[in-house]
Amino acid sequence: MSDNKVVLNYGGNSYEYPIVESTLGDRGIDISKLRDQTGLITLDLGYKNTGATISEITYLDGDKGELYYRGYPIEQIADKSNFTEVMYLLLHGELPTQDQFSKFEAGIKNYNYIADEMKRLIDVFPRSAHPMGVLSSLTSALTAFNPKAVDVNSPSDLDHAAEMLIAKFSHLCAWTYRKKLGLPINHGDNSLNYVENFYRMCFRRPNEEFHLDPVVVGALDKLLILHADHEQNCSTSTVRMVGSAHTGLFASVSAGISALWGPLHGGANQAVIEMLEMIEQDGGDVAKYVEKAKNKDDNFRLMGFGHRVYKNFDPRATIIKKAADDILNSLGIEDKALDIAMQLERVALEDEYFVSRKLYPNVDFYSGIIYRALGIPTEMFTVMFALGRLPGWISQWKEMRLHNDPIGRPRQVYQGAQKRDYIAMNAR
Ligand code: CMC
């Protein structure tokens, strides 16, 4: 017995697999020789027990409800930092000095416009198109206007690619918003910071003077920070997987956007509001929907509840719940959806089904209420998530390439037909 290796007894032989140490949390069994030595592979549907990589970016402890960006607890970051600084931290590993911050911000502002041809691309989408589909397509299309592949051996090339995507992506997110509302599209304004600039690009009306509301800017900044990275979630794993084939940064991120769109992942923020509206329109009977969620013959799930990793509480949800209260109060908005959300939370948290399965409100449960208070259409909520998650995707892509991770290529346990001979159609 030793705690630095695992011994597998199989077929009369004994095999040893080393433990890979961590600085915090799960240690891993290195099974890279397993198949060669034993002819066996591991099977772990949904990768619930599988470490896909070694990373230094984000740590989360699902039992304790802890989340750290590069070692800094999310509560401190959300309270004291700003989104631009968080982007730098995730990308470079350390908090910036004033000089590093200014250079980073200037690097982003250097790319604060988009090629005019991109406007023609967005024009051809129908207004009814879902903003996430538009965003994913436009992100992929950006490659056409920036055809030079990133040289991952050049730190300055990596920095420029990240800064370029960060700048241009905020335009694409704002443009999908303008498209949805039928408003003309804008370029950025370099006198503003990143979040202010995004806010202005979204909300400035063609014939009105524009005022930055500090409450709205503060709320957006906090939401973006809380979504900035979350280690190996579905969309980030997608970005890493696509990038592992040495696919370019923009195309890899475009794939991540599609993964994020799903209602079990980032699309849950849209699904939560739709669910709360449905409950309200149906008379507000919260208990009825809690029963539906528990019924195994009913496909209904309580959206915004549960998490693959958090089995105690989602620390982001705690911060967002408080922010939602503050923002509704300061904007003087009363939202019936918030009342229903609070009732739902109360009923579910006292119910044995949710308690025994450790199902708690997640980050998406309250974020939609804030977006709604800011006047953002429901279909745009996941785009907001994508803007927040962008620095995480880029940092993870960069780390994967710098660590020279091999191409992602899982195996399978095949249970299909055995070898058989083709039968001509007239003989079937
Ligand atoms: N409502 C009702 N039952 C649920 C829910 C829910 N929201 N979530 C999980 N369960 C039940 C599930 O039916 C299963 O029950 P049983 O053990 O009796 O079969 C048990 O809890 C475990 O669920 P699971 O699906 O095996 O857990 P998972 O880790 O595979 O899924 C999840 C995690 C987030 C996909 C899931 O909890 C879910 O579908 N939640 C609703 C969608 C949602 O809010 N997603 C946002 C996640 S946070 C933001 C992000 O990551 O993007």
**What's residue 2's pLDDT?**
61
Give catalytic status of residue 364 as yes or no. yes
| Pocket of ligand 1 contains residue 227 by CB under 6 Å | no
User: Using one digit for the tens of pLDDT, what is the confidence trace for 116-170?
Assistant: 899 899 999 999 999 999 999 999 999 888 778 889 999 999 999 999 999 999 9
**Higher per-residue pLDDT: 417 or 208:** 417
Average pLDDT, stretch 347-362?
A: 92
Which of ligand 1's atoms lies nearest the C-alpha of 304? Answer: 44
Domain locations in the chain as residue ranges: 5-54, 55-410
In angstroms, the CA 107 to CA 172 distance is: 18
* Substitution site in 264, 274, 309, 382 for ligand 1 pocket (most atoms within 8 Å of beta carbon): 264
Residues 229 and 69: beta-carbon distance below 8 Å:
yes
CA distance 53 to 28: 10
Ligand 1: nearest atom to the Cα of 265: 52
Helix (H, G, I), strand (E, B) or coil at 288: helix
Q: Which one is catalytic: 227, 230, 265, 307?
A: 307
Q: Quick one: CA dihedral 180, 186, 188, 192, positive or negative?
A: negative
pLDDT tens, position by position, 196-231: 999 999 999 988 898 998 988 999 999 999 999 999
Sheet holding 5-10, edge to edge: 5-10, 13-20, 28-29
Distance 223 CA to ligand 1 centre (A): 22
Does 1.10.580.10 match the CATH number of domain 55-410?
yes
Task: Tell me what pLDDT residue 266 has.
Answer: 94
The number of helices, as runs of H, and strands, as runs of E, in the chain is: 18, 6
Distance CA 86, CA 77 (A): 8
Asked if 400 and 246 touch (Cβ cutoff 8 Å), the reply is no
The pLDDT assigned to 338 comes to: 83
Q: Is 298 in the pocket of ligand 1 (CB under 6 A)?
A: no
The protein residue with its alpha carbon nearest to ligand 1, atom 44, reads: 304
pLDDT value at position 15?
A: 98
Atom of ligand 1 nearest to the CA of 293: 2
CA distances (Å), origin 326, targets 171, 266, 329, 373? 28, 23, 5, 11
CA gap 394, 253 in Å, rounded? 8
Q: How far is the CA of 308 from the centre of ligand 1 (A)?
A: 7
Measured from the CB, is residue 364 less than 6 Å from ligand 1? Answer: yes
Q: What is the pLDDT of residue 328?
A: 86
Residue 162 · residue 394 · CB < 8 Å: yes
Q: Which of 354, 359, 344, 372 is nearest to 280 (CA)?
A: 344
CA nearest to 235, candidates 394, 358, 67, 363? 394
Respond yes or no: is residue 213 known to be catalytic.
Answer: no
Between CA 53 and CA 62, with CA 58 as vertex, the angle to 5 degrees is 95
Burial zone of 416 (CB within 10 Å; 0-12 exposed, 13-18 middle, 19+ buried): exposed
Whether the per-residue pLDDT at 281 is higher than 90: the answer is: yes
In this structure, the residue with its CA closest to atom 35 of ligand 1 is 264
Residue 284: other Cβ atoms inside 10 A: 14
The number of angstroms, rounded, from the C-alpha of 187 to the middle of its chain's C-alpha atoms is 25
The pLDDT tens digits of the residues spanning 288-304 come to: 999 999 999 999 999 99
pLDDT tens digits, one per residue of 324-340: 888 888 888 888 888 89
Q: Atom 8 in ligand 1: which residue has the minimum CA distance? A: 306
Is the per-residue pLDDT at 1 higher than 60? no
The closest residue, in CA terms, to atom 10 on ligand 1 is 306
3-class DSSP state of 263: coil
Instruction: Report whether residue 266 contacts ligand 1, using a CB cutoff of 6 Å.
Output: yes
Compute CA distances 427 → 417, 422, 423, 424, whole Å: 19, 10, 6, 5
Predicted pLDDT at 299? 93
Residue 326: per-residue pLDDT = 85
Tell me which of 351, 364, 403, 421 is the catalytic residue: 364
Please indicate whether residue 358, judged by its CB atom, sits closer than 6 Å to ligand 1.
no
The rounded mean pLDDT for the chain is 94
CB 235 within 8 A of CB 260: yes
Residue 52 pLDDT grade (very low, low, confident, very high; cuts 50, 70, 90): very high
CA distances in angstroms from 44 to 21, 51, 260, listed in the order given: 21, 11, 22
Could you tell me which CATH number the domain at 5-54 has?
A: 2.20.28.60
Cα–Cα distance for residue pair 302/288, rounded to 1 Å: 11
Q: In the 8-state DSSP scheme, what is residue 305?
A: B
Query: Which stretches does DSSP call E strand in 62-136?
Result: 66-69, 72-73
Nearest residue (by CA) to ligand 1, atom 30, is: 308
Residue 223 to residues 187, 210, 213, 298: CA-CA distances in angstroms? 23, 22, 16, 32
